[in-house]
Every structure is written in C-alpha cells, then in structure tokens.
Structure 1
Amino acid sequence: MANQPITDVIFDFCGVLLDWQTRSCLGGRFPDDVVNRICEDSDPCGFFHYEDRMDAGEDFADIYPDVVREQGEDTAEIFRYYIEHYDDALPRTLPGMVELLADLKAHGYGVWGLTNWSHETFHFAFEKFPRLAELLDGTVVSGVEKLHKPNADIYELALSRFGLNAAQCVFFDDTAKNVAGANEVGIHGLLFENALAARESLAALGVRL
C-alpha cells in the first residue's frame, strides 16, 4: 500500500471543509440558556442524535414526532427551526481548505467529498459555498445513500462510484472513528486538524503541491 502513489484525496465536510456551528444558527434567536443547553457536548436535547438519524437517511417528518415526544413541543420547534435554517449553522469554509482543494486539482489530483449529512439539508452546503461544488469532482452523501460512516459500505460505494483505488486515496475526517473506518477499507485515513497540517500529512505521503 505504501508503495502506491497518491492520486486522489477525499474530504469530509463539516469540521474539515466547512465550519459547522449549531450555535451560529440558534444564537440571538432563542434564549442564551436554552441555546447553551442544546449545544452541550452531552446533547441533552438530542439535537445531534436526531441529526445523526437524518444523516443516516431518515426524513425529518418521520423523526419529528419522536422529538416532540422525547423533548417537548418547545424544543421540537427549535429543532425544526434549526433544520429549516441550516445554512446559518455554516458560517464559513475552514481557513485554507478551498485553497488546498484548488492546489490539489491544479496539480492533477482528484478531489472528492464523503459526508454524513441529511439529504434534506445538504443542498445548503453548495448553495452557500458554490466554489466547493466547482472544485469537488463528486460527493457521496450518507443521507442520500442511506449509508453512514464509519461503516465500510459507504467508503466502498465512494471508491466504486468514483473509480478509485483505495491504496491511492487519502481521506480526511475530524472524527476518529470515521478515520478508522477509512483505514479498514485500505484508504489512508487521517484525522483532520487544519489546512496546514493536512498539507504536511499529504507531503509525507508523497503528494507534491
């Protein structure tokens, strides 16, 4: 595997290409104490749990009754607002990442997307940041495929659809279990920190920019 040159680089979206901040969507629109509780790492209001279900392919309309039953109508209505205004949770592309994609393309490397994201909200990413749509050669979205990182099948689908050799691919994700999932199917999975560190990791694998 180490002897095969890297030809393609695959990127997660939120936390890698895009800054994703639930607080950016809700802050100033709902009381601070409510927003703080929703955004706690322990996920007491279940926002990240319900969103993960959507990322795996479930529809908002099917999940919403569970949100009402488990969290109450007031919190459920905030979750509805969050999903309907999801673009506000995407304040920017992460520094240096558009430039990295452009450099990779300019040097002949393939650049691809592989993301856990709901089919109902993914359109916001390319609508708000059309340059990403221009730069990426293709993207696999979990909610469309009803497959989900870190399970092997979504990586294998991306490889097959894009015509890629796993041993010649690098995959960046900000979640360790998703990096492990990529490694298990033979992709060079790397934990994303920032654009500079990504460039250094690629250089260590022989990518010349």
Structure 2
Amino acid sequence: MAQSPITDVIFDFCGVLLDWQTHACLDGHFPDDVVAAICADDDPHGFFRYEDRMDAGEDFADIYPDVVREQGEEIAGIFKYYIDHYDDALPRTLPGMVELLEDLKRHGYGVWGLTNWSHETFHFAFEKFPRLAELLNDTVVSGVEKMHKPNTDIYELALNRFGLNAGNCVFFDDTAKNVVGANEVGIHGLLFGNALEARESLTALGVRL
C-alpha cells in the first residue's frame, strides 16, 4: 500500500463523537406531546432554528425575546430549560469513538474537533466527557468564532489554527452539507454513520489503525 497522505482527522461533535438527544433533556419534565413535537424534524416550535442561531454566535439573551414573541411564554420556558440543562441532552459518547481517537493518536495522527455549537453550552461537552478534552489536540467552536459550517471560512480557520494542509486531512460530520463544505476547501469530507464505518473509510485512505 502506498503511504497515506492523511496525517490528521477532524471530527464534528454531536452525532459523531457525542450522542445528542434533545428528548433526553426534556422527557419527564414537560408533556410528552410537546416534547415529541419539539424533537420532530418538522418542529413547529423552532427549537433547532433558535439553537442554530446560538451555534452561529448569537447569545441566548438576545434570542430569548424572539422565542417568547414567536412561540409564547410556555415554549420559551422549555427552550430556556433545555439550554440551562444542555448536558442532559448528551447522554453518552457514541460507541467506539473514544477508542477510534485513541487508536489514531497511538499511530501518530492528529485528532481535532470542529463543531457548530454555542459558546454558552459547549463547556458541557468537555465537563461531562473529559476524555475527549484529553484526546483532541484542539477544537474550533462555531459560536466562539461566529462562523458556521458549512461556510468555507470556518474550515479555513480550523486549518490555519491547527497548522494543517487540507489535502492531508479527513473530516467526519453527520450532516451532508457540512461534508460538502469540507470538500470545497480540499479536505477529505466523509459522512459519518458509525465508528466501524469510519474506521473502514480511514483504512481505505491508507490510515493505519
């Protein structure tokens, strides 16, 4: 096998490194039908739209009045609870992912994070799962940078900050448009399914595991 050009692997967080389940935060605290609607793909209450604004760098305090005006006090209160208890929406690391990071580091590869996440709630990730903080060399957080996947600027920022060449990197994300964004700057963007598939994809690129 020809020597792999891959030297570094970059990971999204929610849906790749971490299991993210909004219902795990809300179940048992609010009516089942309301929680089901909030967690549905066609959520009429816009939780993920508001959260996306936080991921892009807006503060909760600036968004909350919009939630109250557009959704009413009851739903706004649930959204505030969700943000305040965000760690409950992160029940576990996804199976096999800590081991994958460990194996990559053992073989000399760099491992990094690149996530769309609010600067106000990202701390929960490393507080709840300190092993990730130990393993990742560094992480770029969209809400801190006020940049947002899939826009190319955040990938370029990450490459510059990490000191990496795009062609030597693999990036895993569970959202297709974010994979496209990585590919547009020359990173090997791959859609994440599970840890075993990620290992197989890396092996196909010549990565030693």
> Could you tell me how far apart the structure 2 residues matched to 1:126 and 1:6 are?
26
> Could you tell me how far apart the structure 1 residues matched to 2:192 and 2:117 are?
18
Counterpart of 2:43 in structure 1 is 43
Counterpart of 2:93 in structure 1 is 93
Amino acid at match of 2:119: H
Shift of 1:37: 1.1
> Could you tell me how far apart the structure 2 residues matched to 1:126 and 1:87 are?
10
Counterpart of 1:168 in structure 2 is 168
Shift of 1:43: 1.9
Provide the secondary structure at the position in 2 that maps to 1:171.
Answer: strand
Verify the 8 A CA contact 1:43 1:49 in the aligned structure 2.
no
Counterpart of 1:62 in structure 2 is 62
Q: Matched residue pairs, number? A: 208
Verify the 8 A CA contact 2:27 2:35 in the aligned structure 1.
yes
What is the correspondence of 1:5-84 to structure 2 with a 5 Å cutoff? 5-84=5-84
Shift of 1:4: 6.2
> Could you tell me how far apart the structure 1 residues matched to 2:150 and 2:126 are?
23
Amino acid at match of 1:194: N
Verify the 8 A CA contact 2:4 2:206 in the aligned structure 1.
no
Deviations 1:123-170 (A, max 9, x none): 000000000000000000000000000000000000000000000000
Verify the 8 A CA contact 2:4 2:207 in the aligned structure 1.
no
33-42 or 77-86: which moved more? 33-42
Amino acid at match of 2:170: V
Shift of 1:40: 1.1
Shift of 1:34: 0.9
Point out 4+ residue stretches in structure 1 off by more than 2 angstroms. Answer: none
Provide the secondary structure at the position in 1 that maps to 2:157.
Answer: helix
Counterpart of 1:182 in structure 2 is 182
Name the TM-score, length of structure 2 as normaliser.
0.98
Name the TM-score, length of structure 1 as normaliser.
0.98
Shift of 1:87: 0.1
Shift of 1:3: 8.4
Amino acid at match of 1:78: I
> Could you tell me how far apart the structure 2 residues matched to 1:134 and 1:104 are?
13
**Distance of aligned partners of 1:182 and 1:3 in 2 relative to their CA distance in 1, 3 Å threshold:** farther
Amino acid at match of 2:76: A
Deviations 1:169-188 (A, max 9, x none): 00000000000000000000
Deviations 1:19-42 (A, max 9, x none): 000000000111101111111111
Amino acid at match of 1:87: D
Shift of 1:192: 0.1
Counterpart of 2:112 in structure 1 is 112
> Could you tell me how far apart the structure 1 residues matched to 2:151 and 2:187 are?
13
Verify the 8 A CA contact 1:4 1:167 in the aligned structure 2.
no
* Alignment of 1:140 onto 2:140: yes
Provide the secondary structure at the position in 1 that maps to 2:51.
Answer: helix
> Could you tell me how far apart the structure 1 residues matched to 2:160 and 2:123 are?
23
Amino acid at match of 1:165: N
Verify the 8 A CA contact 2:118 2:141 in the aligned structure 1.
yes
